[in-house]
Structure 1
């Protein structure tokens, strides 16, 4: 083994749950926005003074914040990923030991059992009814029976039986690793929010290019005798057009979400899952392990044949299964193996078959084939025992039928306990308007009884999935109107998810067993339990490491916080972009000096956007996620930006007629712009809490301090002259602010209608 490690024949592909430190620094530092701001910063540093370069400090601070928050999220994500990672069993020196997937070396003999994920490529050395699902690689849903000498590929998983295989390709040579060489789970790909912000940035770019070019020419012409002043005014017009903090705050908000959920032992394997679960309107729940506890106990054995050795047979069947499921573990605990019983051949349990079996010989030498599984599969149609099985099922009990050579022998009744947190979690989803579908491989009556005990609407009419119509439209209609489904196979779970998606639903699927993998993979959001099979954890976007269904509302809450808060701050950033572009246009048309220096807009932007946006982006927010993010942002930003630009330029023109001092004109325009932007902040900050009101008041007080303190007046080159100019600025700004409030309420009413 040491020789193989030394020569690099080790499975060294990192199970990356996050970006590397270098990638995080590069992603936050080398951005298009930072490049634009950096060029403008160099221009200002060349002409001075340093006060006009303050906007560069804001970018540096924001970038550092982004890097620090994402590094914190990386540590959380990596730590949780290690906890939830698959640990294959390897035979070395005659012993079977658990190792990390990264510790596997070439020629290792790796054991396989039901639910195991195959982590490297290899050749089957031992096979005991081994069935492997390769659908994640090939798209073929049917399991493949593997015999010694057959190839197995990394990325597939075991659905039945067991065995062992020899590792022939490890690390970057393995099949799944070659497919995923460039993949990173810490990603914002396919995020509606990210797509919306990208669309906004494209819109902004098209505005900035012509407006910025015209402003450059205009200021050089107006200030031809003072080129440094022209450069300062030109940069002042260009800097606020760039929504420099919008993408940063989105990354920070997601990173903080990862940290918060990590504290709840919830592993987010793909960042869009935080947002995606907040948009979900249908949650498909597997009953066992989600609504009920995974542990079970035998409640009763109903004999159908008086003299049958039921207890001994159940003990022998339990011994025959190498990796028993929860039902069989309960049987093993109740009926230990008795001496004298020998297993000659066996068929392991699979979710598709819904039974397991074995050929057994008893102490007297008699041989028979026994099956244990779903009554409607094991027993012949019309058997009276099916009626009794349904009666138990209607009480919420799980029933297994035991048959010998096709003849019914006994019914094994198994009890499950409801999860203590299930009722509250289901109530939360009902209050939030999220429909619940219970999908289980158990008897439909039994699943319906459990659902009724949890007060799930529609639980009185459970449906056996085998009776669903084959016509796609009729199938989708049935899935839409039904809440509880029983006897659902792995492929049917996948079909149910696809049918709901075809009807326009955003679907989340929860599960813990290998029979849930296909549905988890195809759902919009897959949620796996930490104690579930390695295969389910591998394909899910969210893993609940404490196996607590009650953690889902916290994930929904984080998603809503991210979506709702980023919409708020996007309104602020886009308002600044709109009024900056409009001011540039009217300045070009009027052929006057741009009314601001960079320091003025840095001050206004920091107090009305930068600082409050940081607090608003991380605040609690329970608003429901809605479609139409871009449209809503533009419906606010455009009128708000137009009013801000009109009030500012109107004040500037009035001040130019009143004063013969550019500093006094700029101060009056800055006062007007700040007040309108403060009005916009006040509108966006609603609904008010004490801290939101205090935030708006603090920003207003900070600006007042700048106007009152002589040193700050000189530093920011702001000095209000007399009462007439400032009075007109306040009057115009208050009028524009009032009009903004009225406009926003009218738009709200139109949206409501």
Structure 2
């Protein structure tokens, strides 16, 4: 008999036997310091900075926070004219405090931070004080004494409150909100060429280059200075053009303007500019073609929307009205996403009832929308903590110290030789330009720039270039299953009906089914729509509906009372009749599929019928979930065995259930989901076959041979996922699989799955009794498979060490909700894994953004769902990305080390020559710095990746023993070689020794 193992005993059981997607994080009330302009401080500052040739102005430009502290005095935020805001990455930004004039006293509620307050709370003397930080507005709240983020209606308002806004805003309310929120526009300004030129030239790198050129000209290195100046000019122009092109691309993606119809003061107004929309406006959604200019909660009707830009999912999704409730509306939550129309998405089609308009309440505008979040994530990417860059900056600091020593040494030598002060200072500063080459920090990005270009040629696009090098350190890749490892489309293998509480023998074709609940459910439980004469929707829904042979049609207005729902009916002559008339199934209301609930349902009217109140509920979803919602006597006793047999063969199984619903339509329109989805009767199983993509198995083999661990994270059934994992080689045929399951008492038990056979018993014979894995019962190699429920139990209840051991051995994670996928990725990162995630971008959004290298398979070039987007429709993009990541890392390492050694070599050479009152000539500097260094740097940068992934990964730090030893020995070799050459030269008979002054 199976004995449950407490979750705290995972060690003995396993190891010893051997969200739209959320945009970037927003701080609603970041650290702030207020300053007020001081005339005498400003006069004193500008008087002093003129003395050192304007160097102080440059420092003020580079460090605005320091400039503000020197020219202004600190004061309370309530009287500040400028504010230093510290973001989540620790960066300090100077923001100007602005004012908005709002005449008249008002009690109009607004949302700031996490609190809903009256406008009077931020209104003082008809003026509201605010600042704009990273395109978001922060209002000054006197009661808090800080500037707090101004939110729309996307947080804190109940669903019922949003429904109460159907009459729209009054003109006075709109005017005040427009003044408060500003224009509804995502406008990224494209700076003029002359502004970009000034910004580029004032970059520290080019300022250093310009100063160096001046020094070299004074030292009469005309050819070298001219060459460097020419190269710098070309570099500035190229960088300027690239920056301008990048800004133009972002502007084109972000900016859109249209005219819409809104409801204000209870009446519809058409031809309104979308830029005038404010939170609280009620938008009238047209039948099709609208590119949404805001985030809005759907109040009435249905809408079919293309969300490819946000999620990467090319299949249109159906949005249903937000049900009135006392729950707070959160558009980013999985339960409210299906009721939210996101900015930047395209309305393909709307459905409405009778003469009722499709209405949506505006909840977010401008940069506070989902699209605005995507644009901000591009403009202000989160700072990534990459050890390589930290070590590189430390190395630059070390070279700076060395340059300081060389500076002092050169001063001493030149004073000793009694050189002129001007020449002494010039030579000393020349040593600094040699020891710390200005191109050294730029060497860190060379590999990334070339890697991005190669990735783009391979149809892989990136919105976060810093993550390219992170891809080079990936040790583990997580994959979604459906649409990623397997084909998007599935084949309907057959159905297994339930008749009188028992399964029929074997599978049968859906077209052979009589008029029964299973057939009706297959024809109605979907979100399919007819767009331009073609059925469009989720691939599973399409295959299931097409398997019935039925057709969809839109009835003329007036049928079924005043409703115009989607109607499914059998083909002409199909034999589907009730009461002598052809049967018609009208889909009256839909509860869309939820990844968290793992099911969808519809309320249907079957016509003809003698009772107008007789409705039917059909529900489909994960078998385990549907089974729990059914009457026990409607579930066959052999349900687990039949389900297990189908899933172990790799089939995707959906359970279908139904129940009668005696309710008038106007009540059914408002009934809660949980009231409908209960007391169901199991109608049968729908079995679908999902084939692997052609590139899945070869890529799995390539990754495995490179020592990269592969993990599957899916919402599918556990045994189906295990079968697919074995089929694609993720789990080798010679390896065992331990399935972790949660008992009703929240204990975790473990059993061994045979290689395609039934679970083994304690005696080793085949049977159905699961086995507890104790210490010594199983020898490695083995893999763990668990579902989302077990994952949550283990994560919350087991010890840290036990949970980490499960993470190390877990290969298949099934029935995982979107937030669980993201959490798993973060947990794997916390134990030292460099994690990549590959998915379709729909339910994997959180995990894709959490991973070090998230890559979405999508037809769009930029998506908020993921840092990387691949137009390659299979996982062959993964090894390409990993190879380019490794190449970028190795290239940056190599160029950095080469530049560092080159500067050290030249520093040693010049130091020796200074000791003999000599120096390199103009043409020698030109040859070394341009011919040799430039040529090698370009060649190294152009070098592509190895054609195959190997087990050895590149180092991720410059502080490693290998790197430091290599640099140290090379430097020592340079010193020995140059001194030896000098000594050898002095021993030659023709050598005339230098006469030192001493």
Same fold, judged at TM 0.5 (above): yes
Deviation of 1:372 after TM superposition, in Å, equals 0.4
Aligned to 1:471: 798
Aligned to 1:170: 365
Deviation of 1:607 after TM superposition, in Å, equals 4.2
Residues 220/580 of structure 1: CA separation in 2 closer, same or farther (3 Å cut): farther
Aligned to 2:27: none
What are the Cα deviations for residues 542-595 of structure 1, in whole angstroms up to 9, with x where unaligned? 01134332122221121121111221222221112333455566677xx54254
What are the Cα deviations for residues 448-484 of structure 1, in whole angstroms up to 9, with x where unaligned? 1112221222576243332342415333322321212
Aligned to 2:837: 509
The equivalent position to 1:291 in structure 2, one of 485, 490, 493, is 485
Alignment of 1:302-317 (within 5 A): 302-305=496-499, 308-317=516-525
Aligned to 2:813: 485
Tell me if structure 2 keeps the 8 A contact 1:268–1:541. Answer: yes
- Name the SS of the counterpart of 1:549 in structure 2: coil
The equivalent position to 1:456 in structure 2, one of 730, 733, 745, is 730
C-alpha distance in structure 2 between counterparts of 1:427 and 1:70, whole Å: 44
Residues 279/172 of structure 1: CA separation in 2 closer, same or farther (3 Å cut): same
Count of aligned residue pairs for this structure pair: 631
Aligned to 2:869: 543
Answering whether residue 333 of structure 2 is matched by residue 333 of structure 1, we say: no
Answering whether residue 225 of structure 2 is matched by residue 12 of structure 1, we say: no
Aligned to 2:599: 355
Aligned to 1:46: 218
Aligned to 2:965: 635
What are the Cα deviations for residues 700-723 of structure 1, in whole angstroms up to 9, with x where unaligned? xxxxxxxxxxxxxxxxxxxxxxxx
Aligned to 1:109: 283
Deviation of 1:619 after TM superposition, in Å, equals 0.4
Structure 2 stretches lacking a partner, 5+ long = 1-174, 264-272, 305-309, 311-319, 342-358, 505-513, 531-535, 551-567, 570-582, 660-679, 738-784, 947-951
Deviation of 1:508 after TM superposition, in Å, equals 1.3
Aligned to 2:85: none
C-alpha distance in structure 2 between counterparts of 1:182 and 1:491, whole Å: 20
C-alpha distance in structure 1 between counterparts of 2:866 and 2:991, whole Å: 65
The equivalent position to 2:238 in structure 1, one of 46, 64, 68, is 68
- Alpha carbon RMSD of aligned pairs, Å? 4.6
Answering whether residue 308 of structure 2 is matched by residue 126 of structure 1, we say: no
Of 629-638 and 343-352, deviating more is 629-638
Alignment of 1:742-753 (within 5 A): none
C-alpha distance in structure 2 between counterparts of 1:40 and 1:214, whole Å: 20
C-alpha distance in structure 2 between counterparts of 1:463 and 1:548, whole Å: 25
Answering whether residue 564 of structure 2 is matched by residue 238 of structure 1, we say: no
The equivalent position to 1:392 in structure 2, one of 646, 661, 676, is 646
Residues 102/63 of structure 1: CA separation in 2 closer, same or farther (3 Å cut): farther
Aligned to 1:523: 851
Of 381-390 and 203-212, deviating more is 381-390
Answering whether residue 620 of structure 2 is matched by residue 372 of structure 1, we say: yes
Tell me if structure 2 keeps the 8 A contact 1:347–1:358. Answer: yes
Tell me if structure 2 keeps the 8 A contact 1:127–1:148. Answer: no
C-alpha distance in structure 1 between counterparts of 2:452 and 2:481, whole Å: 27
The equivalent position to 2:683 in structure 1, one of 405, 409, 421, is 409
Aligned to 1:424: 698
Structure 1 stretches lacking a partner, 5+ long = 95-100, 131-135, 137-143, 666-753
Tell me if structure 2 keeps the 8 A contact 1:239–1:598. Answer: no
Tell me if structure 1 keeps the 8 A contact 2:855–2:867. Answer: yes
Deviation of 1:596 after TM superposition, in Å, equals 2.7
C-alpha distance in structure 2 between counterparts of 1:249 and 1:39, whole Å: 20
Aligned to 2:714: 440
C-alpha distance in structure 2 between counterparts of 1:599 and 1:650, whole Å: 24
C-alpha distance in structure 2 between counterparts of 1:458 and 1:86, whole Å: 50
The equivalent position to 2:882 in structure 1, one of 548, 556, 565, is 556
Aligned to 2:974: 644
C-alpha distance in structure 2 between counterparts of 1:119 and 1:384, whole Å: 53
Of 433-442 and 464-473, deviating more is 464-473
Answering whether residue 368 of structure 2 is matched by residue 160 of structure 1, we say: no
Alignment of 1:222-237 (within 5 A): 222=417, 224=419, 230=424, 233-234=427-428, 237=431
Answering whether residue 953 of structure 2 is matched by residue 624 of structure 1, we say: yes
C-alpha distance in structure 2 between counterparts of 1:188 and 1:638, whole Å: 31
Deviation of 1:647 after TM superposition, in Å, equals 2.6
Aligned to 1:613: 937
- Name the SS of the counterpart of 1:331 in structure 2: helix
- Name the SS of the counterpart of 1:603 in structure 2: helix
Residues 14/657 of structure 1: CA separation in 2 closer, same or farther (3 Å cut): farther
Aligned to 1:719: none
- Name the SS of the counterpart of 2:655 in structure 1: strand
Aligned to 1:204: 399
Answering whether residue 824 of structure 2 is matched by residue 496 of structure 1, we say: yes
Tell me if structure 1 keeps the 8 A contact 2:653–2:685. Answer: yes
TM-score (norm 1): 0.72
Aligned to 1:678: none
Which structure features the higher share of helix residues? 1
What are the Cα deviations for residues 668-692 of structure 1, in whole angstroms up to 9, with x where unaligned? xxxxxxxxxxxxxxxxxxxxxxxxx
Tell me if structure 1 keeps the 8 A contact 2:521–2:619. Answer: no
C-alpha distance in structure 2 between counterparts of 1:24 and 1:155, whole Å: 37
Answering whether residue 671 of structure 2 is matched by residue 343 of structure 1, we say: no
Deviation of 1:488 after TM superposition, in Å, equals 1.5
Deviation of 1:351 after TM superposition, in Å, equals 0.6
- Name the SS of the counterpart of 1:279 in structure 2: coil
Tell me if structure 2 keeps the 8 A contact 1:373–1:402. Answer: yes
Residues 286/168 of structure 1: CA separation in 2 closer, same or farther (3 Å cut): closer
C-alpha distance in structure 1 between counterparts of 2:865 and 2:442, whole Å: 29
Tell me if structure 1 keeps the 8 A contact 2:714–2:816. Answer: yes
Deviation of 1:399 after TM superposition, in Å, equals 0.7
Deviation of 1:411 after TM superposition, in Å, equals 0.8
Deviation of 1:235 after TM superposition, in Å, equals 5.5
Deviation of 1:646 after TM superposition, in Å, equals 3.4
Tell me if structure 1 keeps the 8 A contact 2:601–2:618. Answer: yes
Tell me if structure 1 keeps the 8 A contact 2:435–2:903. Answer: yes
Residues 557/585 of structure 1: CA separation in 2 closer, same or farther (3 Å cut): same
Answering whether residue 898 of structure 2 is matched by residue 572 of structure 1, we say: yes
Deviation of 1:434 after TM superposition, in Å, equals 1.0
Aligned to 1:57: 227
C-alpha distance in structure 1 between counterparts of 2:258 and 2:486, whole Å: 29
Tell me if structure 2 keeps the 8 A contact 1:316–1:343. Answer: yes
C-alpha distance in structure 1 between counterparts of 2:447 and 2:232, whole Å: 13
C-alpha distance in structure 1 between counterparts of 2:194 and 2:876, whole Å: 36
Deviation of 1:34 after TM superposition, in Å, equals 3.5
Residues 561/103 of structure 1: CA separation in 2 closer, same or farther (3 Å cut): farther
C-alpha distance in structure 2 between counterparts of 1:542 and 1:148, whole Å: 38
